[in-house]
């Protein structure tokens, strides 16, 4: 029994010695781990809260657009962008509100919201779509160089035909027929590639292809003095 007590005391002494040497480190590690868990849980809660509030505001933008209330759509989209710019809802709201502003004749507000989405939307696809729509507005404003610059960077492959189609329209407006024809040809080639992939959008893309082909056919040889001929 005495031997057992002695061994037990030696183990206890060893434990005390080890704790004196490493106790602070163990306490620190445990504390850091606990704080990390709490921080992660807090972050997830904050993210969920942000997403829920942004979703509610986005629903308001949708409702305002459905009611043709462009002013309310603009205000709610602006609030969403100000408070929740890091969510995907912000870019979507900017696109949706910009459409309402265009339909209401407020070109300045539409351009501002599209420009924000083109530069800041969280999703790459939304940024590409915003660039495309903004360049279209710029074309209508006869801001041809700005429009071309806005669509200069390559978009996602699914939007590439639309970008090249718009590029052709801008070049046509500048009477650069040969360059426009090249852009339309590139758009048509890209669209044919997408059509071959099939999918639910194949029929819609087929109708769009007919429109592109008409644009291309209308150019014929596409030689003008403006092209250096």
Residue with tokens 């996602």: 156
Reduced to 3 states (helix: H, G, I; strand: E, B; else coil), residue 104 is coil
Per-residue confidence at 226, pLDDT binned at 50, 70, 90? very low
Q: What is the mean pLDDT of residues 213-228?
A: 67
Pair 118, 127: CB distance under 8 Å: yes
Q: What is the mean pLDDT of residues 7-36?
A: 65
Q: What is the mean pLDDT of the chain?
A: 83
List, for residues 94-141, the tens digit of each pLDDT value: 999 999 999 999 999 999 999 999 999 999 999 999 999 999 999 999
**Is the alpha carbon torsion for 48, 53, 56, 62 positive or negative?**
negative
Q: How many residues does the chain have?
A: 229
In the chain, what are the domain boundaries? 23-122, 142-224
130 or 22: which carries more pLDDT confidence? 130
Q: What is the 3-state secondary structure (H, E, C) of the chain?
A: CHHHHHHHHHHHHHHHHHHHHHHHHHHHHHHHHHHHHHHHHHHHHHHHHHHHHHHHHHHHHHHHHHCCCHHHHHHHHHHHHHHHCCCHHHHHHHHHHHHHHHHCCCHHHHHHHHHHHHHHCCCHHHHHHHHHHHHHHHHHCCCHHHHHHHCCCCCCHHHHHHHHHHHHHHHHHCCCHHHHHHHHHHHHHHHHHHHHCCCCCHHHHHHHHHHHHHHHHHHCCCCCHHHCC
């Amino acid at each position: 029994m005495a031997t057992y007590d002695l061994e037990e005391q030696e183990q206890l002494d060893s434990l005390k010695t080890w704790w004196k040497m490493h106790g602070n480190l163990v306490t620190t590690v445990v504390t850091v781990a606990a704080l990390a868990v709490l921080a992660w849980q807090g972050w997830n809660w904050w993210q969920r809260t942000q997403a829920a509030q942004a979703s509610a505001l986005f629903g308001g933008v949708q409702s305002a657009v459905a009611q043709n209330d462009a002013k309310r759509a603009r205000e709610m989209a602006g609030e969403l962008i100000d408070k929740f710019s890091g969510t995907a809802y912000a870019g979507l709201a900017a696109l949706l509100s910009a459409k309402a502003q265009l339909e209401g004749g407020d070109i300045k507000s539409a351009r501002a919201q599209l420009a924000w989405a083109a530069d800041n939307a969280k999703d790459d696809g939304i940024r590409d779509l915003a660039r495309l729509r903004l360049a279209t507005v710029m074309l209508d404003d006869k801001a041809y160089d700005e429009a071309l610059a806005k669509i200069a960077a390559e978009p996602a492959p699914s939007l590439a035909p639309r970008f090249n189609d718009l590029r052709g329209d801008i070049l046509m407006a500048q009477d650069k027929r040969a360059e426009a024809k090249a852009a339309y040809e590139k758009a048509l080639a890209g669209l044919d590639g997408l059509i071959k992939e099939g999918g639910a959008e194949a029929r819609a893309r087929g109708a769009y292809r007919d429109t592109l082909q008409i644009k291309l056919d209308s150019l014929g040889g596409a030689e003008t003095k403006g092209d250096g001929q």
